[in-house]
Structure 1
Amino acid sequence: MRSVPDDILGYQARLDDESRAVCDVLLRVIEGELPDADRKVWHAHPVWFFEGNPVVGYDRLKASVRLLFWSGRAFDEPGLTPEGSFQAAEARYTDPGQIDSAALRRWLGKARELQWNYRDIRRNRGLVPLRGVGA
């Protein structure tokens, strides 16, 4: 496996023990499933990108860790709930034992294939999919 960028390692290091345990599992699975994605800390949390578009990331909330898929509503998958007003969907965890690794791997596979074009969202009003979903 390629080395994790320093900014993501720094993010992990600043977490409390409970959140770090969840984020360590998420990091390991995401890195394993999306080895060709660009990744960095973006808007203060780790995010993975394809072609400049965010596809998945996670962040520490007050009471849980949120795993966010920018195009997650298009996945039509149990375990993800709509987030925000566009195509995002999320799962929240308070313990690493709550993470269904098989479902997470399936969601990551869909994240690779079903991407809305967030990079050009202002120009396209978010209506043009990058790939998958009607592309």
Structure 2
Amino acid sequence: MTIQSEISHYNGAQQPELKAVCELLAEQIDNTLPDADSKIWHSHPVWFLNGNPIVGYSKQKAGIRLMFWSGADFGEAGLNITGKKFKDASIFYNAVVEIDTAALQRWLAKARDIQWDYKNIVKRKGVLQRLI
């Protein structure tokens, strides 16, 4: 599968080590979720299933933040849950060698199976409902 051109451009704009992290993440996400739609959303790459955001990454001070919108319910110790209101969880990477691809594959499978409805959060006035 070919990585969407906007995402390739985003990845290419990163410094070399972080570019490699972004490229590996995009490749893994695209290969594991071939039916997901991807685009630049709120200035960073995000993948959607049926219009619902499920995974994305962004450049932050601490490195590349890989975020799963419903990751708080994955039951995975490797993901950091920061908030209480939303169900997101994330992990930071600064080098390709830090990425455990087996764990990433497991998280991506859970991202497909465990979803909260972020697509309609505005319509529901900030209330999340479980989809799957």
TM-score (normalizing by structure 1): 0.91
The answer on 1:130 being equivalent to 2:131 is yes
Q: Is the 8 A contact 2:64 2:93 kept in 1?
A: yes
**2:93 aligns to what?**
93
Partner amino acid for 1:128?
A: Q
TM-superposed CA distance for 1:98, in Å, is 0.6
What are the within-5 Å matches in structure 2 for residues 6-85 of structure 1? 6-84=5-83, 85=85
**1:117 aligns to what?**
117
Residues in 2 aligned to 1:122 and 1:77: alpha-carbon distance in whole angstroms: 28
Residues in 2 aligned to 1:35 and 1:96: alpha-carbon distance in whole angstroms: 22
TM-score (normalizing by structure 2): 0.93
Residues in 2 aligned to 1:117 and 1:126: alpha-carbon distance in whole angstroms: 9
TM-superposed CA distance for 1:59, in Å, is 0.7
Consecutive aligned runs of 4 or more in structure 1 exceeding 3 Å deviation: none
**What's the % identity of the aligned pairs?**
47
TM-superposed CA distance for 1:30, in Å, is 0.6
Partner amino acid for 2:71?
A: G
User: Size of the alignment, in residue pairs?
Assistant: 130
Residues in 1 aligned to 2:129 and 2:95: alpha-carbon distance in whole angstroms: 36
Deviations 1:12-63 (A, max 9, x none): 1111112101111111111110010011010011000011110000011123
Residues in 1 aligned to 2:3 and 2:101: alpha-carbon distance in whole angstroms: 20
Partner amino acid for 1:55?
A: I
Structure 1 unpaired stretches of 5+ = none
Q: Is the 8 A contact 2:3 2:26 kept in 1?
A: no
